[in-house]
Amino acid sequence: MGFFDKVRAEFIDIIEWIDTTGNTLVYRFERYDNEIKYEAKLVVREGQQAVFVNEGKLADVFKPGTYTLTTQNLPILTTLKGWKYGFHSPFKAEVYFCSTRQFTNLKWGTPGAVTMRDKEFGPVRVTSFGIYSIRVKDPSVFIREIVGTDGNFTTESIEDNLRGKIGMRIKEVLPETGIPIIDMESKVMMLGQMLKDRIAPSFEGLGLELAEIQVQDIGLPQEVEAAIDKAGAIKAVGNLGAFTQYETAASIPAAASNPGGTAAAGVGIGMGFAMANQMTQAMADQQGASQSPPPLPGFYAAIDGKQAGPFSMDALRQKVLAGEIGRDTLVWKSGMNEWTAAGQVPETAALFQDVPPPLPGK
């Protein structure tokens, strides 16, 4: 073996990259003065591609496999260098390894609320968030458009940019879907596919493939969620009349626990009767016992220590004229916080205009 053959044998080396980070998209193989020897071994593993860059120009791209670098497998680089006497001397080039595996669990979210027009709720502000997955589809384009000369390019280096692209596009996609907001939670798979179809072309322009996008949650304003819950409660009890009675029964314990002197005492007396009356009526409505519309809400009155009613205004007037209900009689109807003397409630106080007050000393 001659002297120069021995030197070349000593300079033959291996160019490879073993990724131990889990988040590196592009890694530049580091070597002194970027010098690569003739017949060096290039090892490209599954899930990788290797890109040679000569004096800032993209040259050859190698897919998974093991290569001995010669003029036969470096045609573009050989043309760029323009060697006239073969390829037996060292050459300078940068080698970038691109990870082409899928990078998952990258997060995205809408930058602020999206205003939508819903047929049932009108204009509604909606938020959304989820995760997405990417892979390098075209290493040459990705290095040229995004990486540049960065020798260690990670997902964190581009995540903000991609998150912004997804967040802005979903602000366009959500209002165009035509899906009622009450049904959006059950349509997240369809939303994800629509979003992927809309955004994928802009990712390809960066040399990336948008492998998957998931919509994990749709956020609605609290008042809309409360309205949805109330609509569900109405359906659960059967009709609006039954729901009104249900809320009336639910409000009586709160009124009874309110420290209101004699008013609270009056509530305590009639509370059990009201609860039984309203819940019985609600159950009858659910079972279809009566198909007639529910009676209009009226006033209840505490008469002889017991709850009576509800009474219409005409019925109350007759009770007043008969002396069964006085100004101090406690009354209550749906919407009132507590039992109150009839003379202090504007609607019932008007019934006493033609009734003389009690005689002095009586």
Within a domain: 131: yes
Same domain, 216 and 145: yes
| Number of domain units in the chain | 3
Statement to judge: residues 11 and 111 lie in one domain: no
Helix axes 240-257, 222-237, angle to 10 degrees: 110
Residues of the chain with pLDDT under 50: 1, 3-4, 6-10, 84-85, 261-276, 288-296
Same domain, yes or no, for 336 and 302?
Answer: yes
In a domain? residue 231: no
Tokens coding 70:
């010669």
Q: Distance between CA 308 and CA 320 in Å, rounded?
A: 14
Are residues 114 and 95 located together in one domain of the fold? no
Residue 320 lies in a domain: yes
The answer to whether the beta carbons of residues 165 and 35 sit under 8 Å apart is no
Q: Is 285 part of any domain?
A: yes
Rounded Cα distance between 243 and 251, Å, is 12
Q: Is residue 306 part of a domain?
A: yes
Note whether 196 and 109 are same-domain residues: yes
Strand-pair partners of 307? 302
Nearest-Å Rg of the Cα atoms of the chain is: 40
Domain contains 150: yes
Q: Show which of 175, 194, 224 is a domain's final residue.
A: 224
Phi, psi of 63 (to 5 degrees): -90, 175
What is the rounded CA–CA span in Å between residue 347 and residue 221?
37
Q: Across-strand partners of 154?
A: 24
> Which residues are paired to 53 by β-bridges?
58, 94
Using a 10 angstrom Cβ sphere, with 0-12 exposed, 13-18 middle and 19 or more buried, the burial of residue 49 is buried
Q: Residue 259's pLDDT is what?
A: 57
- Looking at the structure, tell me whether residues 71 and 140 fall in a common domain: no
Q: What is the pLDDT of residue 207?
A: 93
List Cβ neighbours of 114 (8 Å cut-off, separation of 6 or more): 125, 126, 127, 128, 170, 171, 174, 175
Q: What is the pLDDT of residue 249?
A: 62
Q: What is the pLDDT of residue 7?
A: 45
Report if residue 361 sits inside a domain. no
Report the number of secondary-structure helices (H) and strands (E) in the chain.
10, 18
Domain end point (choices 99, 129, 146): 99
pLDDT score, position 306: 84
Domain range spanning residue 193? 103-224
Spatial distance between the Cα atoms of 125 and 121, rounded to a whole number of angstroms: 11
Domain assignment present for 230: no
* Residue 6 identity: K
What string of DSSP letters covers 153-175? EETHHHHHHHHHHHHHHHHHHHH
Helix or strand or coil: residue 99? strand
Same structural domain for residues 117 and 216?
A: yes
DSSP state of 144: I
86 and 107 inside one domain: no
Q: Are residues 302 and 191 in the same domain?
A: no
Are the C-beta atoms of residues 314 and 305 closer than 8 Å to each other?
Answer: no
CATH of the domain at 204: 3.30.479.30
Nearest Cα residue to 210 out of 188, 193, 191 = 193
Clarify whether residues 129 and 186 are in a common domain. Answer: yes
Structure tokens at 284: 């009858």
φ and ψ of 259, to 5 deg:
-65, 95
Provide the pLDDT for residue 44: 95
Verdict on whether the full-model pTM lies above 0.75: no
Judgement on whether residues 95 and 108 belong to the same structural domain of the protein: no
Do 214 and 137 fall into the same domain? yes
Residues shown for the chain: 362
Is 291 in contact with 355 (CB distance < 8 Å)?
Answer: no
Give me the pLDDT at residue 233, please.
63
Domain limit, last residue, from 198, 224, 250: 224
CB of 140 closer than 8 Å to CB of 61 = yes
Strands (E), the chain: 14-15, 24-28, 35-36, 41-44, 48-54, 57-62, 65-68, 91-92, 94-99, 103-109, 114-118, 122-136, 152-154, 208-219, 299-303, 306-311, 330-332, 340-341
Please list, in sequence order, all residues whose beta carbon lies within 8 angstroms of the beta carbon of residue 199, skipping any fewer than 6 positions away.
165, 166, 169, 210, 213
